[in-house]
């Protein structure tokens, strides 16, 4: 389990400039793309969602999550950490209800859901909401840290000492999700927060990237001096070159 890199009781100062880039790709094996990304620099947030449900319209679930964020965010940037936490909770809970309600109305949509990452910047802080096995990483001072913990059966087994972390990538049950948006009325959200520093890179991604790409490869791409969009393209390419077994979504936010 990643060490907690968060710092509380921070003094909020002026908002730094945040640059964004993102890309989603169907991959090499799927017939449709159930991933969705959204970037809104005016409101100061970005997100990545990975639909699940297949014939039960997983792509619709991830789309509902992105649309809910667009509906509930104000047109300008939030001003306090409290507001950011409220918006994370509100967006996840409202998305959860909308997905469930759609499944009630449309029987063939029942059982759809999505994993999701929602990152909000408030002045010199970030607030992150996380559900599922999509991930958020931070690159800072030449070190990559996984900020989120996967909500999977295998990760629970790792935390209980039953499965060794090195065996997770090859475990046959690695994709058994324990939490997702839209599956149950009660939704537990991980909310993480901390201070941003100039030079930080935040990487939001679906498991179509992390199943195919080793951490060392992520580090190589994030550490180079290429533009953000070139980094996202390189991450997509390396996942496809490694097999591209799933949809691949990458969002990078850079604190400048």
Look up the CATH number of the domain holding residue 93: 3.60.40.10
- pLDDT (0 to 100) of residue 75: 83
Domain that holds residue 186: 18-255
Ranges of the chain whose pLDDT falls below 50: 1-13
70, part of any domain? yes
Domain count for the chain, please give it.
Answer: 1
11, part of any domain? no
| Cβ 134 vs Cβ 250: under 8 Å | no
161, part of any domain? yes
| Cβ 109 vs Cβ 56: under 8 Å | yes
- pLDDT (0 to 100) of residue 225: 94
3, part of any domain? no
187, part of any domain? yes
- pLDDT (0 to 100) of residue 8: 38
Q: How far is Cα 204 from Cα 254, in angstroms, rounded to an integer?
A: 12
- HEC-encoded secondary structure of the chain: CCCCCCCCCCCCCCCCCEEEEEEEECCCCCCCCCEEEEEECCCCEEEEEEEECHHHCHHHHHHHHHHHHHHHCCCCCCCCHHHHHHHHHHHHHHHHHHHHHHHHHCHHHCCCEEEEEEEEEECCEEEEEEECCCEEEEEECCEEEECCCCCEHHHHHHHCCCCCHHHCCCCCCCCCECCCECCCCCCCCEEEEEECCCCCEEEEECHHHHCCCCHHHHHHHHHCCCCHHHHHHHHHHHHHHCCCCCCEEEEEEEEC
| Cβ 183 vs Cβ 132: under 8 Å | no
| Cβ 129 vs Cβ 148: under 8 Å | no
123, part of any domain? yes
- pLDDT (0 to 100) of residue 163: 67
Model-level pTM? 0.91
Q: Which two tokens stand for residue 240?
A: 């496809």
| Cβ 144 vs Cβ 235: under 8 Å | no
Q: Which two tokens stand for residue 17?
A: 């400039």
8, part of any domain? no
Summarize pLDDT for 111-153 with one digit per residue, the tens. 999 999 999 999 999 999 999 999 999 999 999 999 999 998 7
204, part of any domain? yes
- pLDDT (0 to 100) of residue 171: 64
């Amino acid at each position: 389990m990643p060490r907690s890199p968060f710092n509380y009781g921070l003094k909020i100062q002026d908002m730094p400039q945040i640059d964004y880039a993102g890309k989603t790709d169907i991959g090499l094996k799927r017939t449709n793309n159930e991933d969705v990304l959204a970037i809104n620099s005016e409101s100061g947030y970005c997100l990545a969602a990975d639909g699940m449900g297949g014939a039960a319209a997983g792509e619709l679930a991830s789309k509902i999550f992105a649309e809910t964020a667009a509906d509930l965010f104000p047109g300008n940037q939030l001003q306090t950490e409290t507001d950011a936490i409220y918006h994370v909770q509100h967006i996840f809970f409202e998305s959860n209800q909308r997905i469930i309600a759609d499944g009630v109305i449309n029987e063939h949509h029942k059982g759809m859901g999505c994993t999701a990452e929602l990152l909000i910047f408030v002045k010199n802080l970030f607030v992150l909401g996380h559900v599922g096995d999509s991930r958020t990483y931070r690159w800072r001072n030449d070190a990559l840290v996984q900020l989120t913990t996967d909500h999977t059966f295998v990760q629970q087994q790792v935390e209980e000492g039953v499965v060794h972390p090195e065996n997770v990538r090859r475990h046959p049950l690695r994709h058994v999700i324990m939490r997702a948006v839209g599956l149950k009325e009660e939704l537990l959200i991980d909310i993480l927060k901390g201070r941003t520093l100039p030079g930080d890179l935040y990487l939001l991604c679906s498991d179509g990237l992390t199943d195919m790409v080793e951490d060392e490869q992520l580090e190589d791409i994030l550490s180079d001096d290429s533009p953000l969009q070139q980094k996202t393209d390189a991450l997509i390419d390396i996942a496809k070159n490694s097999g591209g077994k799933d949809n691949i979504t990458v969002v990078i936010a850079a604190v400048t």
